[in-house]
Structure 1
């Protein structure tokens, strides 16, 4: 199974950033948990970054990492990050990412910036404000070595700050992240998924354009990960976005096991990954009934959808009922007759509530499906009537 150390660290980081107490701690930590000796070392590192020669700058960049990593506790690490930023190390580190510097210098600066950004909302914003995005995009274009994936990790970290997302999305980074998703290491692909997810959840424009060629590696990663994991939630979120385009839908249906992976997520995922997986399946069906619904039925989607109508979030329940209605209407050869549907619903109800309550539960589920079907039929009748009135 797929495991991501960096993803877990990033999720912990995002949780800390959203916590008000953590924000308050950040604002005062530069005055706490730092010894006079540490303060002297911070100032000395900052001076070498501003005024030293190339080798002095590289060594000072490495010292930034050492100062953070050698701190004994989370609060002292936070204090050192704040003190380093206040001493003015961010701007010279960002300038070292320019192509006029050696790869060693850029890698050292990039690692230092990653350490400064970790678990620190203000530093993330300062780093982007200091102009880091254009040189990061250039580093994403490298085809070999560690530098490209370090740049992707930096984009991941910086894109978790809401105010940074529009700037990064406008830079064209998404196209390069998709390239890493297609050809990078496992860790690089995982970081690319999380970065694309962060950018796609922006509440502001512009939103990133994710190319359909992202579908195959996303499906591969979904097959490998636990369907209830946070990573599956991000992957299915992106697949739901891609299912809205014809190119994305074609890619999904051309990949062996893609629809099955979505069906399995509906069955075994978290409430969030279930929501996105059923959303992707519904988008397929609504775009072309004859083409996609048969493919979904072949993968045994009915039991998972029935479960979702009973246990999912309100939006997921509504999507599942709509999809069940579409699947039932479209079946050739009348394979899903009323009696067959009732049997499936009863078997599902027996697993959920036990045989004693199965009849009652099945009756309720069937009533919900009938009610939903009636509502959809009524809305179609109203739509046709309004169309006729308009044409007259």
Structure 2
């Protein structure tokens, strides 16, 4: 894909934007398999182009543009999903008030929830940041009331119109919590297995010797 190769040189991105590349990129993403190599390159290029106001405007103006990125986020390869969430995050970070609703309205929450558990480390971090931006208030609570993924998502779900989207998001949240609990349990079990006498506090050993 020639445009992708050109985009690896940052100076060429403005030229690609001027060439109005967003519509053909969206059309290519619509037509190709979301987990394919072409989809990876398209989503990577879109993520780069979201750094430009013209690129963000073109994507939201293109019919099905944001939805197509959300579909890649849900069904793409690990790398494609990472680029897709990165593109949406860049949009929301650039102007949260402008892009929050267009992103939310395309049903992005279930895919983001899945990424927070099953994505690459970068995807997980980006998905978490985007979830924070998508809630009604983007500001953190005090350190005495830290936000969890569950709290953030519950707040977003309460603002989603439509039973289908809300129900799907709630189901994904429940599954995410279950997976998180299972991972925590496995971690505790692994720690218990590798625990050796040397891991025990020295004071216990000393008290036992003195008692004898």
Class of the TM-score when normalised by the shorter of the 2 chains: 0.5 to 0.7
Aligned to 1:248: 55
The alignment partner of 2:35 has SS state of coil
Deviation at 1:287, TM superposition (A): 1.1
Aligned to 1:381: none
Q: Max radius of gyration: which structure?
A: 1
For the residues of structure 2 that align with 1:287 and 1:338, how far apart are their CA atoms? 20
Give the alignment partner of residue 265 of structure 1, picking from 42, 61, 72: 72
For the residues of structure 2 that align with 1:339 and 1:251, how far apart are their CA atoms? 28
Q: Is the 8 A contact 1:346 1:359 kept in 2?
A: no
RMSD in angstroms over aligned alpha carbons? 3.2
For the residues of structure 2 that align with 1:277 and 1:206, how far apart are their CA atoms? 22
1:34-80: per-residue Cα shift (whole Å, max 9, x none)? xxxxxxxxxxxxxxxxxxxxxxxxxxxxxxxxxxxxxxxxxxxxxxx
Aligned to 1:210: 16
Q: Is the 8 A contact 2:109 2:169 kept in 1?
A: no
For the residues of structure 1 that align with 2:118 and 2:25, how far apart are their CA atoms? 26
Deviation at 1:200, TM superposition (A): 2.4
For the residues of structure 1 that align with 2:16 and 2:171, how far apart are their CA atoms? 40
Give the alignment partner of residue 348 of structure 1, picking from 172, 177, 186: 172
The alignment partner of 2:135 has SS state of helix
For the residues of structure 2 that align with 1:254 and 1:339, how far apart are their CA atoms? 25
Q: Say yes or no: does 1:298 pair with 2:105.
A: yes
Give the alignment partner of residue 219 of structure 1, picking from 16, 26, 30: 26
Q: Is the 8 A contact 1:240 1:279 kept in 2?
A: yes
Q: Is the 8 A contact 1:265 1:274 kept in 2?
A: yes
For the residues of structure 2 that align with 1:223 and 1:345, how far apart are their CA atoms? 24
Q: Say yes or no: does 1:278 pair with 2:96.
A: no
1:265-285: per-residue Cα shift (whole Å, max 9, x none)? 111010111011111111111
Give the alignment partner of residue 328 of structure 1, picking from 135, 138, 149: 135
**CA 1:277/1:358 → structure 2, altered by over 3 Å: closer, same or farther?**
closer
Q: Residues 118-197 of structure 1 correspond to what in structure 2 (within 5 A)?
A: 194-197=1-4
Which structure carries more relative contact order (alpha carbon 8 Å, separation 6+)? 2
For the residues of structure 2 that align with 1:338 and 1:236, how far apart are their CA atoms? 25
Q: Residues 6-45 of structure 1 correspond to what in structure 2 (within 5 A)?
A: none
The alignment partner of 2:43 has SS state of helix
Aligned to 1:337: 155
Q: Is the 8 A contact 1:311 1:317 kept in 2?
A: yes
Q: Residues 223-234 of structure 1 correspond to what in structure 2 (within 5 A)?
A: 223-234=30-41
Q: Is the 8 A contact 1:289 1:330 kept in 2?
A: no
**Structure 2 unaligned runs (5+)?**
139-152, 160-165, 186-212
The alignment partner of 2:51 has SS state of coil
Deviation at 1:219, TM superposition (A): 0.4
Deviation at 1:311, TM superposition (A): 0.8
1:217-238: per-residue Cα shift (whole Å, max 9, x none)? 1001111111111000001111
For the residues of structure 2 that align with 1:280 and 1:228, how far apart are their CA atoms? 17
Aligned to 2:120: 313
The alignment partner of 1:300 has SS state of coil
Deviation at 1:210, TM superposition (A): 1.4
For the residues of structure 1 that align with 2:91 and 2:120, how far apart are their CA atoms? 21
> With structure 2 as the length reference, what TM-score do the two structures score?
0.67
The alignment partner of 1:329 has SS state of coil
For the residues of structure 2 that align with 1:348 and 1:248, how far apart are their CA atoms? 31
For the residues of structure 2 that align with 1:272 and 1:245, how far apart are their CA atoms? 22
